[in-house]
Amino acid sequence: MKNIPLNERVIFALDFADPKVAMEWVEKLDGDIKFFKVGLQLFLAGWWNVVDAIIQRGNKVMVDLKFFDIPETVQLAVQQLQHHGVTFATIHGNTPIIEAAVKEKSDLKILAVTVLTSFDESDMIELGMTGSISDLVLLRSRKALQLGCDGVVSSPLEALPLRNELGPNFLIVTPGIRPGLNRDVEKDDQRRVATAQQAILNGADHVVIGRPISTSSDPLYTVKTILDDIGAGLALSVGR
């Protein structure tokens, strides 16, 4: 099991249009959570200032821009990330794109996006694909790791087969985390979902969570509950 502090297991998704609001959430949560995701919306609103501000408070940042472009452009984009202390960056694409990103990663960890958690089997059929989502995730993950990526982004449902097939020596980051699914919590646009504890039991290293915390009437209590669930999952994993 990787030696990852509990307060870095949750990556809080700062899915806000206003950098000021995003930093208010960082200040509210970073006593308990030390890892934050900056995606397209916030990055375009706050540019590097918000990334730098989060890191200056002693936190880690996952820049989730899912780079997908010609290889040279991706390579130059990854170079820019090196100057800001970013921990994780996401990419998507074929062999030349992945190779270009990996070439420039230095201490940055590159995560390959497999299949978005908003996709389900009906989307695969619509795109003309005959295999299952699980097959596609495994195929893309195997290729990404062979090319030098540090890990992958997948739904928690695919984490277990990925661990079983590809071993322990890579990172699995799982969005699509929804607490209390046994109580039929609304899944919104995420279709392939699980609880934080189940994701950890399936082999995830980090879970990405946004709305279940940001829309909670008591965000700090929700964070504590999620961390307790992850801690319990880690304990059960050790006992296996």
Contact 49, 23 (CB under 8 A): no
Give catalytic status of residue 66 as yes or no. Answer: yes
State the Cα–Cα distance between residues 45 and 20, nearest whole angstrom. 10
Burial zone of 13 (CB within 10 Å; 0-12 exposed, 13-18 middle, 19+ buried): buried
- Measured CA to CA, the distance from residue 168 to residue 170 in angstroms comes to 6
CA distances from 19 to 14, 52, 107, 166, 189 (A): 9, 12, 26, 38, 24
Name the catalytic one among 66, 103, 109, 143. Answer: 66
Q: Annotate 185-221 with b (16+ C-beta within 10 A) or e (fewer).
A: eeeeebbbbbbbbbbbbbbbbbbbbbebbbeeeebee
Cα(158)–Cα(135) distance, integer angstroms: 9
Name, in order, each residue with C-beta under 8 angstroms of 73's C-beta and a sequence gap of 6 or more: none
- Measured in whole angstroms, the distance separating CA 120 from the mean position of its chain's CA atoms is 18
Nearest to 108 by CA among 90, 130, 129: 90
Catalytic residue annotation:
66
